[in-house]
Amino acid sequence: MIITTDLAINNDFSQVPNELILDDSLTDFEFRLWCRLNALRKGRDKAVFESVEQAAKACGFGVDNFRKHRRNLKVKGYLEVNGSKTVVTLPGLDFVPAEEIKPDKKTERMSLRDAWNEAKPESFSRMKNPIAEKQLETLHLHIQHLSVETSSSAFLSRILLGCRVDAWWSSKNLKFDNIFGTGKSVEKKYTNVEKLYKLGASDAAKSEVFDGSPDAFLNWYHEGGQAQIKTVVVVPLEEGVDPIDLEVAALEEGRKSEARVYKNVDDGRIVSWSFKITEPKFYYLP
């Protein structure tokens, strides 16, 4: 991970612009992260870290919180993130915060219907029509209760993924209101929804959605701190060929921003993949 800036601050002191200090939209954590990201350069052109985990540790944040507040700073225009490069900056005069560009309710309701039908357990009822406005309001109440920063569609998909990996929930024929409640019953559903939200990020959930595709591998690598990986290539593996030899050859050629998945040429079975031998966290597939 590379941290740099487009601001003229190059000495042993970290200058904090008044625009940043006076911006009430920034939380204390976001303000502190901006200051620490800028200070990490220590007067140099840039600071380089091997992974997001190292950068987070240098800033005094856990990885999840680091990513969360870095994402918020990007949305508010104080960071520009391009792959592994993070630029500490200030919002331009023509900058429009992403949170101000919100979908209209009809579009959001239709997207939620599609998210429900795509992510639901097979036993759940399908939605034919966009979710009702009351249901949309209910979903926002649950998001606010958990104090998470996510889109309504992503939130719904994660809850449904939690349902899919739970034996009880996945065996029932349920509808939206059975999970999230309606009217006065919404608060009674808070505990269940919170459990399902956590379950939606569990190892079982990751395994449920991991389909072995290049995109699935790319997401897996990024979640594991390998932000330098930009593409994942499927390599057909002939009988008798050692994937380790192919992997070593690829690295010697300098193909370090590319990861490889080795599949048996006859049956398409995944045999090996980049980082399987060198990184313990990638030894087993999700």
**What local confidence, expressed as pLDDT, does residue 90 receive?**
75
pLDDT tens digits for 205-263? 888 878 888 888 988 888 888 888 999 999 999 988 999 999 999 999 999 899 999 99
Model confidence pTM above 0.85: no
Domain segments of the chain: what residues? 2-98, 102-206, 210-282
Q: Which of 224, 221, 225 is nearest to 1 (CA)?
A: 225
Specify the CATH number for 2-98; select among 1.10.1740, 1.10.1760, 2.60.120, 1.10.10. Answer: 1.10.10
Name the band, by pLDDT with cuts 50, 70 and 90, for residue 1. Answer: low
**What local confidence, expressed as pLDDT, does residue 47 receive?**
74
**What local confidence, expressed as pLDDT, does residue 96 receive?**
60
pLDDT of 142 strictly over 90: yes
pLDDT tens digits for 14-46? 677 888 888 888 888 888 888 888 887 665 667
Mean of the per-residue pLDDT values of the chain:
84
**What local confidence, expressed as pLDDT, does residue 100 receive?**
47
Give residue for tokens 């009822």. 125
HSE-CB of 276 using CA atoms within 13 angstroms: 17
Helix pair 133-146, 152-164: axis angle to 10 deg = 80
The amino acid sitting at 235 is V
**What local confidence, expressed as pLDDT, does residue 28 receive?**
83
Q: Which of 91, 66, 93, 65 is nearest to 78 (CA)?
A: 91
Alpha-carbon gap, residue 244 to 44, rounded angstroms: 38
DSSP 3-state of 185: helix
Answer yes or no: are the C-beta atoms of 51 and 226 closer than 8 Å.
yes
